[in-house]
């Protein structure tokens, strides 16, 4: 079961941290109970508890962490911490039974969400190297900020995706920041400023003009993401790209990534949209993988001492060029 807080944050045009943790407290027990019921399980059937340790909003992470500690202690089972982005990178495996292809190691992983835009070289579950990242806003943040400027509410990605389908991506040329420089790093704050200035000069677009602005903006993001991910794969002679995170739901981002990668014989594996956006299944899958490794190495898990990590790079940062 996935519980969404969009209604809590919509009127503010973005996530309000304090409201997010309060909404977590109110929902977490109900969501856990409903999930067990949906799965036809009871608490004693649980052998381990997976939990997101970070990165993210500390208040929200703490709610999940303390709840998970309580459950693990009460059931006397291991508590397995997971990295949020390791979860996004593990998501494609959850859909292989539904006809989705399974990624092959080594692959280039592009995690593109509301909080992150990072490219990784993944050689195995615990062997991940950062190749590039956004130097300012995440791509999802750009979608959300542009949607706010266009009066489309929060989250902005799905609304822009829908409106762009009827727009002409060439009607308004939106710059492609750092397309041919910055190596494998990204920058999205300039695109948001460009759209904000366009709105300041011409007013908030309506009708066909709104569709065109959405299509132009989306095309810019899609081109930059596809070009850099394909560049990363070609440089490393890797023939598989995993596209994941909320922005990987975007129709044009998926299309353009597949088209640009296909030119070089590179496969793109993207989970179905329901597994691209945040979900607990991907955290369970990442934790399962981590637990298996720890088991092999004879390691245990820290339980009560586990603390939330608001900032926690998945891999050491790639040098800034």
Which spans of this chain sit near ligand KG4 (rule: CB under 6 A)? 113-115, 140, 143-144, 155-158, 161, 245-247, 249-250, 277-278
Listed ranges 66-74, 112-120, 197-205, 262-270: which one lies at the site for Zn ion (CB under 5 A): 112-120
* CA–CA gap between residue 45 and residue 35 (Å, rounded): 13
Binding partner selected for residue 87 from ligand KG4, Zn ion, none, CB under the kind-specific 5 to 8 Å limit? none
Listed ranges 69-77, 143-151, 248-256, 276-284: which one lies at the site for Zn ion (CB under 5 A): 276-284
**Please, are residues 286 and 86 in contact by the beta-carbon 8 Å criterion?**
yes
Question: Which of residues 56 and 106 has its CB atom nearest to ligand KG4 in the complex?
Answer: 56
Question: Which of residues 111 and 178 has its CB atom nearest to ligand KG4 in the complex?
Answer: 111
Question: Which of residues 60 and 113 has its CB atom nearest to Zn ion in the complex?
Answer: 113
Minimum Å gap between C-beta 271 and ligand KG4 is 11
Listed ranges 53-61, 145-153, 262-270, 271-279: which one lies at the site for Zn ion (CB under 5 A): 271-279
Minimum Å gap between C-beta 128 and ligand KG4 is 17
Listed ranges 30-38, 111-119, 141-149, 205-213: which one lies at the site for Zn ion (CB under 5 A): 111-119
Which member of 278, 280, 283, 314 binds Zn ion (CB under 5 A)? 278
60 binds Zn ion (CB under 5 A): no
- Calculate the alpha carbon distances from 121 to 186, 240, 249, 270, 284 in Å: 16, 10, 21, 16, 22
Binding partner selected for residue 212 from ligand KG4, Zn ion, none, CB under the kind-specific 5 to 8 Å limit? none
Question: Which of residues 21 and 113 has its CB atom nearest to Zn ion in the complex?
Answer: 113
CA 95, 100, 101, 107 torsion-angle sign: negative
Buried b (16+ CB within 10 A) or exposed e, 3-33: eebeeebeeebebbeeebbbbbeebbeebbe
Instruction: Specify the 3-state DSSP secondary structure of 107.
Output: strand
**Please, are residues 172 and 218 in contact by the beta-carbon 8 Å criterion?**
no
**280 contacts: CB under 8 Å, gap ≥ 6:** 2, 35, 50
**Please, are residues 161 and 249 in contact by the beta-carbon 8 Å criterion?**
yes
- Crossing angle of helices 156-164 and 207-235, in 10° steps, is 110
Question: Which of residues 223 and 278 has its CB atom nearest to Zn ion in the complex?
Answer: 278
Which member of 113, 118, 244, 279 binds Zn ion (CB under 5 A)? 113
289 binds Zn ion (CB under 5 A): no
Question: Which of residues 54 and 205 has its CB atom nearest to ligand KG4 in the complex?
Answer: 54
Minimum Å gap between C-beta 147 and ligand KG4 is 7
Binding partner selected for residue 247 from ligand KG4, Zn ion, none, CB under the kind-specific 5 to 8 Å limit? ligand KG4
* CA–CA gap between residue 208 and residue 219 (Å, rounded): 16
List the one residue out of 116, 103, 164 whose CA is nearest residue 278. Answer: 116
Q: Binders of Zn ion: how many residues, by CB under 5 A?
A: 2
- Residue in the structure block whose two tokens are 């409106």: 163
Instruction: Determine the distance from the C-alpha atom of residue 58 to the mean position of all C-alpha atoms in its chain, rounded to a whole number.
Output: 17
Minimum Å gap between C-beta 185 and Zn ion is 20
Residue ranges in contact with Zn ion by CB under 5 A: 113, 278
């Amino acid at each position: 079961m996935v519980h969404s807080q969009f209604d809590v944050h919509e009127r503010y045009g973005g996530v309000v941290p304090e409201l997010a943790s309060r909404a977590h407290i109110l929902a977490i027990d109900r969501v856990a109970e409903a999930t067990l019921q949906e799965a036809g399980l009871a608490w004693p059937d649980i052998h381990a508890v997976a939990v997101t340790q970070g990165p993210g909003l500390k208040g929200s992470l703490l709610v999940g962490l303390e709840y998970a500690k309580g459950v693990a202690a009460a059931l006397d089972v291991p508590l397995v911490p997971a990295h949020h982005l390791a979860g996004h990178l593990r998501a494609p495996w959850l859909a292989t039974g539904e006809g989705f292809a399974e990624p092959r190691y080594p692959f280039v992983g592009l995690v593109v969400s509301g909080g992150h835009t990072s490219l990784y070289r993944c050689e195995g579950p615990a062997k991940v190297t950062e190749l590039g990242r956004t130097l300012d806003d995440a791509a999802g943040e750009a979608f959300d900020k542009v949607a706010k400027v266009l009066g489309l509410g929060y989250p902005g990605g799905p609304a822009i995706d829908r409106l762009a389908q009827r727009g002409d991506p060439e009607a308004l040329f939106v710059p492609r920041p750092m397309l041919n420089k910055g190596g494998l790093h990204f920058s999205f704050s300039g695109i948001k400023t460009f759209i904000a200035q366009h709105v300041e000069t011409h007013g908030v677009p309506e009708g066909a003009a709104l569709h065109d602005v959405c299509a132009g903006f989306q095309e810019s993001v899609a081109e930059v993401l596809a070009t850099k991910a394909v560049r990363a794969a070609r440089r490393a002679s890797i023939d598989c790209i995993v596209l994941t995170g909320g922005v990987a739901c975007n129709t044009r981002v998926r299309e353009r990534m597949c088209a640009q990668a296909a030119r070089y014989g590179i496969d793109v594996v993207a989970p179905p949209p329901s597994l691209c956006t945040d979900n607990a299944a991907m955290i369970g899958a990442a934790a399962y993988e981590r637990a298996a490794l720890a088991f092999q190495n004879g390691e245990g898990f820290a339980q009560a001492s586990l603390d939330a990590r608001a900032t926690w790079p998945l891999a050491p940062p790639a040098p800034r060029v």
